[in-house]
Amino acid sequence: MKASGKIHVTVWLLGLAGAALFTILLIRQGLPQVGAAFAAARWAIAAVVAFHFAVPVFLDALAWWVLFPTLERPALLQLLWMRWVGESVSTLVPSAAVGGDIVRARLAAINGTPLPLAAGTVLVDLTLGVFVQAGFTMLGLALLVDATGQRNFVRPTLIATLIGVVCIAGFYFVQRLGMFRSLALIVARLANSPEWQSLVESGETLDRTVRTLYARRRAVMTCCIWTIISLVGGSGEIWIALHALDLHATFVNAVILQSTVLTIRSAAFAVPGGLGVQEGGYLFVGNLLGIPGDAAFALSLIARVRELALGIPGLISWQLIEVRRLWRARLAAMVR
């Protein structure tokens, strides 16, 4: 079996395992009880959808926007649309945990941004986002310990976070050293053909672009600040859901849930959509915070509805763009 086929099979197996875990957790909490808790949210579901687009998605787009040099900066509304589409792909398309970032770089290039700059800004934004999320994980962990007094999960969480930080730090330094030219050079030598020399030149251009972006320290710091605000502010949608379900609706609890569930889902990035894993995270943290299991599962279902409500239109929007480009290319080929 080819490597691509093995990856495809692995993704589906992980998806089935996630679906099985989701079903088991739902049965354990009681379908009628979970359904009743979910139904109690009523207006909060629409409010969560609107809040997510207006706050986290917008602020993430703003964080990406500031990375562009002023003279080559696309319109913020354009990047907001691209960020929305990218998140939709990452959330709903199997095996596309980082596929959404590739899509938004492609969309930026389609809309006139030079490809090295489009790819470079996405890469820098992604790298900085992982660093910031590690700090957000530490914040959530500290708040959880303070709120519950539980410390038995602190060490494994710290170790996992440290490993993640070391990995992304290594990725950052490799970027600064010029990883894309090196990769292209290896491919060109393996191909043993002068036609691949253009790939090496493209790698050099992307390396220069990435180094230039990192050298803009003010833009880098501003990107990090907006990302922090996005992560903390995004906890507001959980606060809305907690309030609607008449649970412990404090912003601290919302931040704890937001931080820990994001961390758990990121750690299980290989599972499509974090299916089952996200629900387990809500149940685990909710139990520590004194939230009943059926209500914690309902919180996760509200998040799932939000993903679908924003993700499906995002995917449709992306496909319409791709179909239109394909149609124009075919028309141009017929004219020739």
pLDDT per residue as tens digits for the range 30-45: 888 888 888 888 888 9
* Maximum average pLDDT range among 3-12, 196-205, 225-234, 262-271: 225-234
Least confident of 39-53, 185-199, 253-267: 185-199
Q: Is 85 inside a domain boundary? A: yes
The tens digit of pLDDT for each residue in 126-173 reads 999 988 998 898 898 888 888 887 777 677 777 877 787 787 778 777
Within a domain: 11 = no
Q: Whole-angstrom Cα distance, residue 239 to residue 258?
A: 10
Whole-prediction pTM: 0.87
pLDDT at 66 over 90: yes
| SS3 (DSSP) at 126 | helix
Cβ neighbours of residue 170 under 8 Å, at least 6 residues apart?
Answer: none
Q: Tell me the range of 77-86, 168-177, 240-249 where mean pLDDT is highest.
A: 77-86
Q: How many domains does the chain have?
A: 1
Q: Is 33 among the domain residues?
A: no
Residue 298 has pLDDT above 80, yes or no: yes
Domain range enclosing 320: 52-238+250-270+309-335
Q: How many CA atoms lie within 13 A of 147 on its CB side?
A: 21
On the question of pLDDT at 273 being above 70, the answer is yes
Determine the Cα–Cα distance for residues 204 and 209; give it in Å rounded to an integer. Answer: 9
User: What proportion of the chain, given as a percentage, has pLDDT over 90?
Assistant: 37
Contacts of residue 310, Cβ cutoff 8 Å, sequence gap at least 6: 49, 52, 53, 57, 84, 87, 88
- CB neighbourhood size of 163 (10 A): 10
Distance between CA atoms of residues 195 and 234, nearest Å: 47
